[in-house]
Structure 1
Amino acid sequence: MPHPAPQPAAEPPDLLTAELVVDMAAPVAPAMSPDGRLVAYSVVANSGRDGRPHSSVWVAAADGSAAPRRLTDGTARDAAPKWAPDSAFLFLTSDREERGTAQLRRIPLDGSEDIAKAESLTRWRGGICDYYPLADGRTVALLAEDEPTAEDERREAEGDDAKVWGRHLPVTRLRLLDLATGEVRTVNGLGDRHVVEVIQRPDGGPLAVLSWATPEPDPGVTTAGLHLVAPGTGAVQDLGPVGVEARSPAWWNHDGTWHLAHLAVPRGHLVGASAVLDTVPPATGPTVEQRHLTVGMSVCPTELVQVSDGPPLALFADGLDTALYRLDPQSLRFHRLSCATGTLAGLTASRSGETLAVLASTAYEPRNVHAGPTGGPLVRLSDTSPELRRIRWGVQERLGYRASDGLPLDGLLILPAGRTRDDGPFPLVTLVHGGPYFRSADEFALTVVDCGQWLATAGYAVFLPNPRGGSGHGHEFAAAVAGAVGGDEWTDILAGIDLLVAGGVADPGRLGISGWSHGGFMAAWAIGRTERFKAAIMGAGISDWGMQAGTGDDGILDAALGGSTGWKGPGPHIHDRNSPISYASRIRTPVLILHGEQDTNVPLGQAIHFHRALRHFGVEHEFIVYPREGHGLHERAHQLDALRRIRSWYDRWL
């Protein structure tokens, strides 16, 4: 069913410009105070004079009884707010002393806060990557790289900077900051393992530490391990390995026994849905058993949150929506508390677990901070982009249909702004999400990557499919693309397009397809399978799965998706069958290629390879490279350029 389109104010609606999209402020990283009274959060915006993102920290009453207060002025990257255990101080990271180098600061919450009262707590050369205030109120766990030595500084000054591969990325180590003395003590028992997350047992007991064997994602994500660290002595107990893409460790207690849960792809799988895995740490030695607490569920956990005085809370992707669950300690199963239309993210809870805050978004409302009782209702606290209410948006419809083999699928349709289905058929752009383990939820999305409404306000219908491989439908649905990308997920997308053509929504002679990352792969794949598309946009996409497995950040996971590696003999290889580059001779569709020059997730070589093949076969295309950018676009000028090029490309060909 479609959501009724919101009507702008009585005045004529504003024009949606690229500047309005790029300069839209967005709240991130909400943090509920332990006593449940206040919520802190950051607001990120691009509109600074330097064209780079900056952020400020705000605090609001959790019950909405008072307007939010801005604690920092937004002239630096003030971010990652977290509370002292007694809720009297707010910690944050800030690079206002040295741009790009985050240090830890602390602000007292006395009702008259401002950045002038913020106390600088660290001057760690290289900066702080992350931190966690400990229960004693006197210590903060820091994640930070080693400070440069005199020899490091000499080599940098003289350009003596040869990199030894395997030791070219700095290791993030666990360190303990004494707030009274400012002394920073490094926990040496973890060796050279790269620490990625830390959380303390709520009773002030050991720290649960998640680490990789190396800072390199390949093989780091497949070598994850859990450890316990005694905060007083620094003694380390290894609990053993955990699954791929492990994250979000969370302690909980039942009948006097402490459990430690986390999210990960179940062991034995490289591709599939995340699961909640749980163990009871032994007194000594490694973990004996990990229990799979979400086995058989048709929804996918996205966040797991520790609650000091109760079992953990979790958010689950549930089709197009998001559900809040709580673990039942007796059955060791998650029970649903509520389900919200669209997206919930950034879940944070009070010490008791009775009050929570979250970022919530629906079809026409961008993400904002909401808070309230765990059982609801939640009150919106932030309103960072009120100017968007003066825009006439395209009507967003929820779609349900079946794949060619009968599998139920879902997705979204955005109609051109101010139009109804009866006005069709329209030029249709299919916008494929990345991942592939991601989804298009029934939320408001307006970025360079998720540009559905940007196109809808320019007269295009936009189809956002959720093919196999994504989240929200359980493990088997997500694992279906392993070694078979471009197979069933492509026919899933095609079935949705055919449905919209048959329904008179899409003009079969004016079809386009776009995507970023895995969505960019799907766009390149689609135009090698059919000539139905009159235009395509490939953003940071994969053209050669063999090359991606050998050069991308997540090589071992990309090999599992593509099906093989080039070092398994002379071939033929499965990844060649699954790579768009293999079908370049068939392509007749004009292609716009967008890629960041410093992208290490999907290296620039993927785009160069595809560009050279298209040039060889005389295919109409443009190839745009954005300096200094990685897998996404962050600089304001680059985002503006990409948005304008995307519209212009479809205006030209559709």
Structure 2
Amino acid sequence: MPHPAPQPIPERADPLTAELVVDVAAAVAPAISPDGRLVAYGVVANSGGDGRPHGSIWVAAADGSTSPRRLTDGTARDLAPKWAPDSASVFFASDREEQGTAQLQRIRLDVSEAIAEAEAVTSWRGGICGYWPLFDGRTVALLAEDEPAAEDNRREAGRDDAKVWGRHLPATRLRLLDLETGVLRTVDGLGDRHVVELAQRPDGGPLAVLSWSTPELDPGVMTAELHVVDPGSVTVHDLGPVGIEARSPAWWNHNGVWHLAHLAVTPGHLVGGLAVIDTVPPATGPAVGHRNLTVGMSVCPTGLVQVADGPPLALFADGLDTALYRLHPESLRFHRLSCAPGMLAGLTASRSGETLAVLASTAYEPKNVHAGPTGGPLVRLSDTSPELRRIHWGVQERLGYQASDGLPLDGLLILPAGRTRETGPFPLVTLVHGGPYFRAADEFTLNVVDCGQWLATAGYAVFLPNPRGGSGHGHEFAAVAAGAVGGDEWTDILAGIDLLVTERVADPERLGISGWSHGGFMAAWAIGRTDRFKAAIVGAGISDWGMQAGTGDWGILDAALGGSTGWQGPGPHVHDRHSPISYASRIRTPVLILHGEQDTNVPLGQAIHFHRALRHFGVEHEFVVYPRESHGLDERAHQLDALRRIRAWYDRWL
């Protein structure tokens, strides 16, 4: 039976407008102070007149004893706060000096002004890409490209800017800044490798550094290596290759032996669930004996955080919910500490690991910063969008059902606002998540991509399925998508739709399907398999997997999903069977195509290809391109346009 979450009913309901959706402020990137007393976080909102989101930095007591205090005014992109080791000042990245170029800023908290005065720490030409304050209190590790030389400036001014492919993306290098002297040292021992992330050993020792062979995602994410860097001598010890999509390095100590763990795709697979991989760095030479600490688990790690006095903490996607785990140092297995409904993300822990902060969201509460003891309970610190409590939302139900082969599945159903199941059937829009290694958690989402409540408040029921290929159910569940997109994941989605039709929630004559990215692929795929859908929306979706493998950011990983590339000899190829473009002649469903002009993840050519095929076969469709946008929509006017088009498209056809 479905289990609807209790919904707070406002005394006075306000209409949900596109402006309200787009202008909602959102908490991001919490960072708890090393002493566990304070939490800094960012708030992103469309607060500026330039049509782009801005950010401000806030700080709150971790126990909720005082109201949050805004440290910056939100007129620039002030984001990514991190604490100094003495918990007395907050660093953050800001483009206040030059729009679009981030520099490091610092605010000392021994002042009483409501809006504190920030001091510029860097003025690096081209800006910084990342930073980490080190435990000595006087050094900050910076990630930044080389500053442009005079010759680079001359060429740019003269438009003599030919780019040699493979060398046109400058690598991000690791640099160590002395805050007292201003001296900046570059770690030359990493050569031309592109540095993406680091973590300092909690005793103030060496840095664990993750690098790629190139800034390009393909082959960057497949060529990751770990290094140990001494911040004093800047000597480098190479530990060798690590897993695909490696991230989140975390040191931990057991019986005097330092371990180094990280997240990566389960070893031996290009596509599959994330795993926690652990090794003991040797004194010399490459690391050996990498161990998968999450093998066999039916949940998927999403975040890994080191603490000073014990093994790491981790968040795990657990079906529709999120669980907090801690590694047991003897068994080398993760043990669950707690489980929270909906979504937890952005885990950050105090130095001792006794206090943590996260972003938490449930069915009717958007992401806000929560903090408290590691054993719980957590207190909400931020409240960035109280105006949303005046909206009467659609009831969000948790669904459990079976695939055609009997596999248990889950998902969500959002009923039209103000309606119950008994007043159905309703027009139903199936909203497929991206990835495919994402999931629909029992959280509140309200934006252009995840627009379930936007549709529910307009009278539509919305189905958010979690088909195979996604996260939350372990590696094997996720790995099914490899070389077989559109297979089991499509029949899993169909089984949920059939159930909702049988239960008279969905009107079989008024079915629509939408998605963004991989969800856009699934929408395009669905309308080539059946004419049951009366309308579809394809957002930044893939129409040809061979083209995607050759032109998309993820390259060979997309080839692993589609099953082949186009350069393996004359076709037909495996990916032809999995590409919506191959079935365009069957499509009769009206389609709205939305795509960013500067998208490199799923290039615009995918949408153009699909549009031309639909035009050739006389299919009713509309093709909308958003200038300057990448894989999502960032500019306010574009978000407003897309939200209105989405509703209007379904109003027209359903």
Alignment of 1:138-149 (within 5 A): 138-149=138-149
CA contact (8 A) 2:321 2:343 kept: yes
Cα deviation for residue 117 of structure 1 reads 2.7
* Counterpart for residue 272 of structure 2: 272
* Counterpart for residue 262 of structure 2: 262
Secondary structure of the structure 1 residue equivalent to 2:307: coil
Cα deviation for residue 276 of structure 1 reads 0.1
Task: Output the amino acid matched with 2:530.
Answer: T
CA contact (8 A) 2:47 2:75 kept: no
Task: Output the amino acid matched with 1:560.
Answer: A
Q: Deviations over 1:201-243 (max 9, x none)?
A: 0111110000000000000010000000000111001101011
Task: Output the amino acid matched with 1:9.
Answer: P
Cα deviation for residue 116 of structure 1 reads 5.4
Distance 1:453 1:230 in 2: 50
User: Is the aligned partner of 1:570 residue 2:570?
Assistant: yes
* Counterpart for residue 497 of structure 2: 497
* Counterpart for residue 62 of structure 1: 62
Task: Output the amino acid matched with 1:10.
Answer: E
User: Is the aligned partner of 1:160 residue 2:160?
Assistant: yes
Cα deviation for residue 115 of structure 1 reads 5.4
Distance 1:266 1:343 in 2: 23
* Counterpart for residue 239 of structure 1: 239
Task: Output the amino acid matched with 1:218.
Answer: D
Secondary structure of the structure 1 residue equivalent to 2:24: coil
Cα deviation for residue 4 of structure 1 reads 4.5
* Counterpart for residue 2 of structure 1: 3
* Counterpart for residue 106 of structure 2: 106
Alignment of 1:295-306 (within 5 A): 295-306=295-306
Distance 1:482 1:288 in 2: 28
Cα deviation for residue 267 of structure 1 reads 2.6
| More deviation, 88-97/528-537 | 88-97
* Counterpart for residue 519 of structure 1: 519
Q: Deviations over 1:529-583 (max 9, x none)?
A: 0000000000000000000000000011000000000010002100000000000
Secondary structure of the structure 2 residue equivalent to 1:561: helix
* Counterpart for residue 203 of structure 1: 203
* Counterpart for residue 411 of structure 2: 411
Distance 2:584 2:524 in 1: 9
CA contact (8 A) 1:412 1:442 kept: yes
* Counterpart for residue 580 of structure 2: 580
* Counterpart for residue 20 of structure 1: 20
CA contact (8 A) 2:626 2:638 kept: yes
Q: Deviations over 1:576-607 (max 9, x none)?
A: 00000000000000000000000000000000
Residue ranges of structure 2 left out of the alignment (5+ in a row): none
Alignment of 1:131-530 (within 5 A): 131-530=131-530
* Counterpart for residue 79 of structure 1: 79
Task: Output the amino acid matched with 1:6.
Answer: Q
CA contact (8 A) 1:107 1:113 kept: no
Distance 1:540 1:562 in 2: 17
Distance 2:147 2:168 in 1: 15
CA contact (8 A) 2:30 2:348 kept: yes
Cα deviation for residue 184 of structure 1 reads 1.2
Secondary structure of the structure 2 residue equivalent to 1:548: helix
Q: Deviations over 1:78-100 (max 9, x none)?
A: 11110011111111111111111
Cα deviation for residue 289 of structure 1 reads 1.1
Identity within the alignment, %: 84
Distance 1:426 1:149 in 2: 62
Cα deviation for residue 140 of structure 1 reads 0.3
Distance 1:4 1:268 in 2: 40
* Counterpart for residue 634 of structure 1: 634
Cα deviation for residue 7 of structure 1 reads 3.8
Distance 2:648 2:153 in 1: 47
Distance 1:579 1:120 in 2: 50
Secondary structure of the structure 2 residue equivalent to 1:554: coil
Q: Deviations over 1:92-111 (max 9, x none)?
A: 11111111111111111115
Task: Output the amino acid matched with 2:504.
Answer: G
Secondary structure of the structure 1 residue equivalent to 2:523: helix
Secondary structure of the structure 2 residue equivalent to 1:117: coil
Q: Deviations over 1:436-457 (max 9, x none)?
A: 0000000000010000000000
Cα deviation for residue 113 of structure 1 reads 4.8
Cα deviation for residue 498 of structure 1 reads 0.1
Distance 1:113 1:182 in 2: 27
Distance 2:99 2:116 in 1: 18
Distance 2:7 2:651 in 1: 26
Cα deviation for residue 2 of structure 1 reads 3.5
Cα deviation for residue 74 of structure 1 reads 0.3
Distance 1:21 1:118 in 2: 31
Task: Output the amino acid matched with 1:590.
Answer: P
Secondary structure of the structure 2 residue equivalent to 1:527: helix
Distance 1:8 1:319 in 2: 27
Task: Output the amino acid matched with 1:15.
Answer: P
* Counterpart for residue 532 of structure 2: 532
Secondary structure of the structure 1 residue equivalent to 2:547: helix
Distance 2:507 2:77 in 1: 46
Cα deviation for residue 357 of structure 1 reads 0.3
CA contact (8 A) 1:5 1:393 kept: no
Q: Deviations over 1:607-643 (max 9, x none)?
A: 0000000000000000000000000000000000000
| More deviation, 260-269/470-479 | 260-269
CA contact (8 A) 1:47 1:636 kept: no
Cα deviation for residue 474 of structure 1 reads 0.4
CA contact (8 A) 2:320 2:342 kept: yes
Task: Output the amino acid matched with 1:123.
Answer: S
Q: Say if 1:112 and 1:391 are closer, same or farther in 2 by CA, change over 3 A.
A: same
Task: Output the amino acid matched with 2:577.
Answer: R
Cα deviation for residue 47 of structure 1 reads 3.3
Distance 1:63 1:243 in 2: 38
Q: Deviations over 1:397-448 (max 9, x none)?
A: 0000010011110000000000000000000000000000000000000010
| More deviation, 393-402/111-120 | 111-120
Secondary structure of the structure 1 residue equivalent to 2:246: strand
Cα deviation for residue 6 of structure 1 reads 2.7
Distance 1:99 1:154 in 2: 22
Secondary structure of the structure 2 residue equivalent to 1:96: strand
Distance 2:89 2:46 in 1: 28
Cα deviation for residue 3 of structure 1 reads 3.0
CA contact (8 A) 1:543 1:606 kept: yes
CA contact (8 A) 1:107 1:115 kept: no
Scaled by the length of structure 1, the TM-score of the pair is 0.99
Distance 1:306 1:627 in 2: 41
Distance 1:636 1:5 in 2: 32
Distance 2:53 2:194 in 1: 27
Could you say what the CA RMSD is over the residues aligned between the two structures, in angstroms? 0.8
Q: Deviations over 1:147-206 (max 9, x none)?
A: 000011001101011010001112100000000011211100000000000110011111
Secondary structure of the structure 2 residue equivalent to 1:642: helix
Task: Output the amino acid matched with 1:173.
Answer: R
Secondary structure of the structure 2 residue equivalent to 1:446: coil
CA contact (8 A) 1:357 1:371 kept: yes
Secondary structure of the structure 2 residue equivalent to 1:542: coil
Scaled by the length of structure 2, the TM-score of the pair is 0.99
Secondary structure of the structure 1 residue equivalent to 2:98: coil
